[in-house]
Structure 1
Amino acid sequence: MVFGRIDRPIIFWEDGSSIIDESVTKLKRILEGKPETAFVTEQYMKNYTTIYDMCTQKPPENYSDQLYNKFRGIFEEYAKQTVLPSIMEKHDEYMLREFSQRWDINKIMVKWLSHFFFYLDRFYTARANLPNLNKAGMTCFRDHVYESIHFNAKQVIIALIHKEREDQQIDRALLKNVLDLFVQNGMESMDRYENDFEKFFLEETTSYYSRKASSWIQADTCPEYMIKAEESLKKEKERVTHYLHSDTEPKLIKGVQDVLLVSVAKDLLEMEDSGCSALLRDDKTDDLARMYRLYHAIPKGLEPVSEAFRLHVTSEGNTLIRQAEDKATNNNVVEQDVIRRIIDLHHKYMVYVTECFQNHTLFYKALKQAFEIFCNKKVAGISSAELLAMFCDNFFKKSLNDKSNDESTIESTIENVVKLLDYISDKDHFAEFYRKKLARRLLLDRNFNDEHERTILTKLKAQFGGQFTSKMEGMLTDMQLAKEHHSGFDTYIGNSGKPKGMDFTVTVLTTGFWPSYKTSDLNLPLEMVSCIESFKAYYETKTKHRKLMLIYSLGNCHLNGRFDSKPIELIVSTYQAAVLCAFNNTERLTYQELLEQLNLGHEDLARVLHSLSCSKYKILNKEPATKTISKTDSFEFNSKFTDKLRRIRVPLPPIDDRRRVVEDVDNDRRYAIDACLVRIMKSRKVFSHQQLVSECIEQLSRMFKPDIKVIKKRIEDLIGREFLERDTENPNTYKYVA
C-alpha cells in the first residue's frame, strides 16, 4: 500500500494576518471588560492552526519572521495607543491602580497570545536567537509603558508611605502590586526595583527619620525615645512584610538604625536624668532590656552601652569605697559591711547582665573591668584581699551561732566570695591572710564547721587550681588526724597506768601547711611538763621519723582562779597560764624575776603582763599602776578580783602581723617568678627580654600582678646563678643554660 502526500492550501500573509487581527481585537475587548463573547475551542484551534501553517510553509510563504514581528507589534501598538494614555490621564493612587491593572492585563494578554503563537517558541525563537514570546511581550510593556511611568509611580508610592508613617490609612495591597511590577520589569533582575524605587525610598526614609530623631532627642526622655525608635523599626519591618521586597529589609532597617540609634547614641545614653546611668540607678529593667534589644541588632552597637554600664558600675563601686573610708576609724574597718555591700552591688548588676543584657559577653567584661578597679583599692590602709579574708573569718564564726543562716545562705555567700576574689589581683595575699585566719579558727575556736570550710576550699580549688588550696586542705587534714591522736593518747595513758594529771590535748601540725609561728623555750609549770613528756612518749610509738616542736604561742589553758569572793575559771593562753602559775608559790614577783623564771622574751612577757594587769581583767596588781609595762615593775596576785561571770576569757593584745604576711607573700612571689622564668626559658631556649617579661606577667597574672622591676631583678639573679645567660651579640636576648 502506498500513502500519498496531502497538499495543504497555502495561507498567504494577508489572509492569515486578518484572522490573527480578528482574534487579537476580540481578546483586547474581553480583557478591557467590553461586551464580547468568550473564545470557543474552534476559534482557539483556528488561530493556532493558522499560525502553525504559516510557520511550516516552504519559503517564500514561510512567515515565521513576520509573525514574530507581528507579535511584538501587537504589544507595542497596544502599549502606545491604549495602555500609556489610559495611565497618563490619571493621578496619584488612581494612576497606580491603572498602572497595576494594565500590567495585569498585559500579562494575561501575553499568556493568551503566546498560546496562539506557540509554534514560534517551539522552533523559531531559539534557532533565531531571539527572546521568547513571553519575554518579548513583557519587554514591550517595559519599554513603552514602564519607562514612561515609573518615575511618577515612585513619587506616588513614597508619598503614600509617608502618609502611612504619619498614621494615615493607605491601600497596602495596591502598593504591593505596583512594587511587584517594579520587580517583574527587571526581567529576573532586581536592578529596576533597586534603581527606580528602592534607592529613592531609602533616601527619603533617612531624611524622614533624621527629622524625627532631631525632634525626639530634644523633647523626649531616653525611655520615650527608645519606645518610639523601637515602634518605628517594628513598623518598617511590617512594611517589608506587606508590600516591600524582602531584599529591602536589611538596607531599610540599617538606615533607620543608623539615624535613630547610632547617630544619637552618645546623646541618648548620656541624658542627664534618663540616660543609661539613670536607668541603672532607678532600676528601670524594662527600659534597659529595650536598650539592649535595640543596640544588639547593630554591629558594635552594644559597645557604647556596655561602656556606659562599666562607667556607672565603676562610679557606684568607687562611691562605696569612699563611704567605707569615711566610716573607718583608726584603721578599724567594719569589713563585714564593706564586703557585704560589694557582694550586694555585684548581685544587683549581675541581674542586669543576665536578665536585661541577656548574658552578653560585653557586659560580663564591663562588669569585670569595673569591679577590678574598685575591688583592688585599699580601705583605711587595708587591702581588699585582707578585707575579704577577714569577712570570711567573721562569717564562718558567726554562722556557727546564727541559726538564720541556712545552708543555702552559706552556700550563696561562699560563691559570692569566690566571685569577688576573681576580681582581686593579689589573690596570693588573700590566700595567705585566709590561711592565717583559718589557722586561728581551727586551733583556737575549735568549734569550726568542717563541711563549710571544705566547701569554700573546693570552690577555690575549682576556680584557681589545686596549688592555691593545697596548704589549707592539709590544715584540715591535720585537724582530722588530731582527733585520732587525742583518742589514741587517751588509750595510751589508760593502758600505761600513768596518771594523766590534767585534761590535755595536743594538735600535731605539719610544717609547710600551716603559717610559720614564733617559738620559744618557755619554762612551763611541772604539771604541764609531765603531760608533754607523756604525749611525746605516745607519739614515738606512732612514728620515729618526725620531731615534735612545741609552739606555746598557739596553746590555751583553763585555770581555776581562787579569788576571795568566788572561784573563777580563766581561759588564757599558755604564756598567760605560765605567768599566773608562777604566783602559786608567792604573792609578789618583779618583772625581772618573771623574765628569768619563765625564759620569755621581753616583747612576749610585756604583752602577757599587760593583758593580766592593765586590761579589763586585772588579775594581777601592778606597781606602779601605769598603762605601760617596764622592766622595773612588780606584780602581785589580785585576790580581790571578781567578775559577774564564773568563766571569763582573758584576751591577749592583738599582734598586727599584716606586715609579716606581706613579707611572706613577697618572698613566695620571688620564688614563683624564678620558677616561671626558668620554666619559660627551658621551653623557649632563646628569648628576648621583652617577650620573656610579657610571658612571665601573663602566666603569673592569674594569682598576682608581678612588678616589672622585680622581674628584672630576678632575671639578673638567675643570670648570676647561671640559669640564664645573655647572648653575646644581643644583650637583650637570653639563653637558657641547660
Structure 2
Amino acid sequence: MAEEDSSSSSATTSREQEQLENRNLIVPSVAADHHTDDLTEASTTLSGFASVKLGTGSVKKLVIRNFKDKPLILENYTEEAWQKLKEAVQAIQNNTSVQYSLEELYQSVKNLCSYNLSANLYKQLKQLCEQHIRAEIHQLREYPFFPGPFLKKMDKCWQDHARQMSMIRNIFLFLDRTYVFQISMLSSIWDMGLELFKSYIIRDQNVQSRTVDGILLLIEKERNGEMIDRCLIQRLLSMLSDLQIYQVSFENKFLEETNRFYAAEGRKLVQKKEIPGCLYHIKNLLEEEVDRVRAYLSLNTQKLLIAIVEKQLLGEHLSAVLQKGKDVFKAFYKKDLARRLLLGKSASVDAEKSMLSKLKQECGTAFTNKLQGMFKDMELSKDTMIQLKQYMQNQNIPGNIELTVNILTTSFWPTYIPKEIHLPPEMERLQENFKNFYLSKHSGRKLQWQSTLGHCVLKAEFKKGKKELQVTLFQTLVLLIFNEGDHFSLEEIKMATGLEDRELRRTLQSLACGRARVLIKNPKGKDVEDGDRFFCNEEFKHKLFKIKINQIQEKETVFFSS
C-alpha cells in the first residue's frame, strides 16, 4: 500500500512540474539534487498531509501545493550569459565565426527574459549595435572620396549591416517576440538597427553628402553616354528608401541636377537646324529617363522627372524649333494618314478620329478640318462606287476588270505630282467610262488621275501554280507587257509603259531583285543598269497564294505641304 502511494505521489509531482515549465519557470527535478541548467541551488519543499486507513479501509491522500519560493538564478549567471551573447554579436559584426550554437544562444536569451531582465538585455544590445555602427560610419568618413570606390564601400557597409542585424535578430528572437512586442514605444530589433544606421548617416553630413553626390555623378555620366554600375546605384537608393531619407536626401538634389542638365541640353538643341533629328533626339532622351526610373529610381520620381525633361526640352527653349517641328509632324502625319486610308490599312476608324480630337487641341482646327475632309472623301467615294456599278450595268458596259476609284479633294490631301504613263487600252476605256459617269453628275469639276496612288491585283499563272499579286499600278504596267513576250530590255519596257527612267528602275528592282522575284534580270545584280534584259520567271514559287510585292521606296527628305 505504501509503495503504491509513493508511486502516485511521484506521478503527481511530475505533472505539476510540466505545468510549471510550460509557464517558462525553471523547475528543479525532485529526483535530482540540482537543475540540469545549473541555474538554481534551492531545493524544492513539498508540504501536504496524508490520511491513511489501516486495516479498516481508510484511504491515504496526498495533496501537492505550489512551490513556496521561485528558483533563484545562480550567482554570476547574468554576467556570464550576457558575455556569451556579447561575444556572439561582436563575432557577427566582425564577420568571424560564432563559438556558440544558435540554440544555446537563444536559450540564454530566453532564460534572461524569464527572470525579468528583458529591459536591460534590450538596452545592452542596442548599445552594442550603436557602438559598431558609429565605428563603421567613422571609417566611411575617413575613407578617400573617389566616387566609385567610396560608393562600393558604402554599399558593403549597408549590406553587411542588413545581414548582421538579421542574424542578431535570430539570436534575440525571444526578446523581440515577447518584451519588445508588448511595449509599443520600443522598436523591433530590426527597426532599431535601421534607426541607428539612419541617425548616424544623417548626423554625419560628410558621409551622407558624399554618398548622394557620388550617385548623382554616376547618373550624369550615364546621361553623357558612359557605362555605369546600375545595380550599385539601385542598391544604394534602396538603402536610402529603407532608411526613409530617399526624398529629403536624394530626390530633391536629383531633380535639381536634372533641371540643370536638361536646361543645358535644351540650349544645345535650339542651335540645331535639323528638325527631325532634333525631335528624334528628344524622344530618345525621354525614353532613357523612363528606363532610368525602371532600372534604379523610385516610381514616385517618374512624374516629377519627366515633367522637368519635357519642360526643358519641349518648353520655352524650343518654342521656335517646336513650331517648325510641328509643321513637319503635321506634314508627315497627313501623308501617313492618307496612305492608311487609301490602302485600307487603318486599324480602326474610331482610333483615327480619337487621334484627330487630340490633334485639334495641339495643331488647331485648320489642320484637323483637312484631315476630317479626307475621311469624308473616303465615305463619299464608297457611295460613288455603288452608283458606278449600277450605271455600268444599266449601260451594258462590258469588261472583266473591276474598277475602284477614290475621289480626293485636292485641298484636303497631300500634294501628289501627276505622272504620265501608257495604260493598256482596256484600262483607258474604264477611266473614260468613269469620267463620263462622274461628270454627268458633277458638271464643272475637273478630274486628274493620280497614277502614283494606283494599286492592282493581278492573277498570274506559273509552272508551280496560280498566284494573286498585289502590286502598284507601275508594277502592273511592267508585268502586263510580259503577256506579249518572254523577255524585254530596259529600253523596250520604258517605251511600252511610258514610265520615267528613275521610276522604272525602282519598279524593276522590286520585281526582279526583291524577295518575290517574278522577273529575272540578266545580268544579275542589285541595281538596274542600261542594257539589262528581263525575263518572266516561269519557275517562280511562293508559300503564299496572295503575295504583296512592295515597291522600292525612294530615298528623299521632301516635306509635304499641309
Note closer, same or farther for the CA distance 1:304–1:445 as it changes in structure 2 (3 Å cut).
same
Q: Could you tell me how far apart the structure 1 residues matched to 2:520 and 2:370 are? A: 43
For the Cα contact (< 8 Å) 2:522–2:532, is it kept in 1? yes
Helix, strand or coil for the counterpart of 1:458? helix
Note closer, same or farther for the CA distance 1:467–1:349 as it changes in structure 2 (3 Å cut).
farther
1:306 aligned to 255, 258, 263, which one?
Answer: 255
Say yes or no: does 1:366 pair with 2:264.
Answer: no
2:545 aligned to 646, 660, 674, which one?
Answer: 646
Q: Could you tell me how far apart the structure 2 residues matched to 1:339 and 1:477 are? A: 33
Say yes or no: does 1:604 pair with 2:503.
Answer: yes
The one-letter code of the counterpart of 2:382 is K
Shift of 1:523: 1.0
For the Cα contact (< 8 Å) 1:444–1:554, is it kept in 2? no
Q: Could you tell me how far apart the structure 2 residues matched to 1:461 and 1:585 are? A: 53
Q: Could you tell me how far apart the structure 2 residues matched to 1:431 and 1:617 are? A: 34
Note closer, same or farther for the CA distance 1:281–1:547 as it changes in structure 2 (3 Å cut).
farther
Give 1:287's aligned residue.
241
Note closer, same or farther for the CA distance 1:349–1:628 as it changes in structure 2 (3 Å cut).
closer
For the Cα contact (< 8 Å) 1:269–1:275, is it kept in 2? no
Give 2:461's aligned residue.
562
Q: Could you tell me how far apart the structure 2 residues matched to 1:359 and 1:638 are? A: 59
Note closer, same or farther for the CA distance 1:268–1:436 as it changes in structure 2 (3 Å cut).
same
Shift of 1:292: 7.8
Q: Could you tell me how far apart the structure 1 residues matched to 2:234 and 2:325 are? A: 30
2:393 aligned to 477, 483, 494, which one?
Answer: 494
Give 1:270's aligned residue.
213
Say yes or no: does 1:463 pair with 2:395.
Answer: no
Say yes or no: does 1:218 pair with 2:141.
Answer: yes
Helix, strand or coil for the counterpart of 2:469? strand
Shift of 1:573: 0.8
Question: Pairwise mapping of residues 575-614 of structure 1 onto structure 2 (< 5 A)?
Answer: 575-614=474-513
Say yes or no: does 1:443 pair with 2:397.
Answer: no
Give 1:695's aligned residue.
none
Q: Could you tell me how far apart the structure 2 residues matched to 1:445 and 1:261 are? A: 67
The one-letter code of the counterpart of 1:533 is E
Q: Could you tell me how far apart the structure 1 residues matched to 2:388 and 2:140 are? A: 82
Shift of 1:600: 1.4
Say yes or no: does 1:660 pair with 2:561.
Answer: no
Q: Could you tell me how far apart the structure 2 residues matched to 1:431 and 1:630 are? A: 38
Shift of 1:353: 11
Shift of 1:574: 0.4
Shift of 1:507: 1.2
Shift of 1:656: 1.8
Q: Could you tell me how far apart the structure 2 residues matched to 1:354 and 1:273 are? A: 14
Percent identity between matched residues is 27
Q: Could you tell me how far apart the structure 1 residues matched to 2:553 and 2:215 are? A: 50
Note closer, same or farther for the CA distance 1:648–1:603 as it changes in structure 2 (3 Å cut).
same
The one-letter code of the counterpart of 2:472 is S
Q: Could you tell me how far apart the structure 1 residues matched to 2:308 and 2:375 are? A: 37
Note closer, same or farther for the CA distance 1:308–1:645 as it changes in structure 2 (3 Å cut).
same
Helix, strand or coil for the counterpart of 2:468? strand
Shift of 1:264: 10
For the Cα contact (< 8 Å) 1:289–1:356, is it kept in 2? no
Deviations 1:517-546 (A, max 9, x none): 232121111222222122212221332233
Deviations 1:85-107 (A, max 9, x none): xxxxxxxxxxxxxxxxxxxxxxx
Note closer, same or farther for the CA distance 1:486–1:469 as it changes in structure 2 (3 Å cut).
same
The one-letter code of the counterpart of 1:366 is I
Deviations 1:453-501 (A, max 9, x none): 2222222222343344343333233223222222232232233332353
Shift of 1:262: 11
Structure of larger gyration radius? 1
Question: Pairwise mapping of residues 649-688 of structure 1 onto structure 2 (< 5 A)?
Answer: 649-657=548-556, 659-661=557-559, 664=560
Give 1:172's aligned residue.
none
Say yes or no: does 1:477 pair with 2:400.
Answer: no
Deviation larger for 583-592 or 549-558 = 583-592
Q: Could you tell me how far apart the structure 2 residues matched to 1:349 and 1:370 are? A: 18
The one-letter code of the counterpart of 1:218 is R
Note closer, same or farther for the CA distance 1:486–1:268 as it changes in structure 2 (3 Å cut).
same
Give 1:143's aligned residue.
none
Say how many residue pairs are matched.
346
Question: Pairwise mapping of residues 512-527 of structure 1 onto structure 2 (< 5 A)?
Answer: 512-527=411-426
Say yes or no: does 1:637 pair with 2:536.
Answer: yes
For the Cα contact (< 8 Å) 1:591–1:634, is it kept in 2? yes
RMSD across aligned positions (CA): 4.8
Question: Pairwise mapping of residues 24-423 of structure 1 onto structure 2 (< 5 A)?
Answer: 218=141, 267=210, 269-272=212-215, 284=238, 287=241, 294=248, 304-310=253-259, 342-343=286-287, 345-346=289-290, 356=300, 365-369=307-311, 372=314
Note closer, same or farther for the CA distance 1:351–1:629 as it changes in structure 2 (3 Å cut).
closer
Q: Could you tell me how far apart the structure 1 residues matched to 2:242 and 2:309 are? A: 15
For the Cα contact (< 8 Å) 2:422–2:496, is it kept in 1? yes
Gaps of 5+ in 2: 1-122, 124-136, 143-152, 159-201, 221-229, 267-279
1:427 aligned to 326, 338, 347, which one?
Answer: 326
Q: Could you tell me how far apart the structure 1 residues matched to 2:419 and 2:437 are? A: 23
Higher relative contact order structure (alpha carbons within 8 Å, sequence separation ≥ 6): 2
Shift of 1:289: 11
Q: Could you tell me how far apart the structure 2 residues matched to 1:510 and 1:568 are? A: 35
Give 1:504's aligned residue.
403
Note closer, same or farther for the CA distance 1:341–1:302 as it changes in structure 2 (3 Å cut).
closer
For the Cα contact (< 8 Å) 2:469–2:548, is it kept in 1? yes
Shift of 1:603: 0.8
Note closer, same or farther for the CA distance 1:608–1:353 as it changes in structure 2 (3 Å cut).
same
Q: Could you tell me how far apart the structure 1 residues matched to 2:438 and 2:243 are? A: 66
Deviations 1:368-400 (A, max 9, x none): 246559x99xxxxxxxxxxxxxxxxxxxxxxxx
Give 2:116's aligned residue.
none
Helix, strand or coil for the counterpart of 1:509? coil
For the Cα contact (< 8 Å) 2:467–2:545, is it kept in 1? yes
Helix, strand or coil for the counterpart of 2:521? strand
Q: Could you tell me how far apart the structure 2 residues matched to 1:472 and 1:270 are? A: 51
Shift of 1:557: 0.8
Flag the structure with higher helix content: 1
For the Cα contact (< 8 Å) 1:472–1:513, is it kept in 2? yes
2:432 aligned to 522, 530, 533, which one?
Answer: 533
Q: Could you tell me how far apart the structure 2 residues matched to 1:461 and 1:350 are? A: 33
For the Cα contact (< 8 Å) 2:464–2:539, is it kept in 1? yes
Gaps of 5+ in 1: 1-166, 168-213, 225-258, 296-300, 318-334, 377-421, 669-738
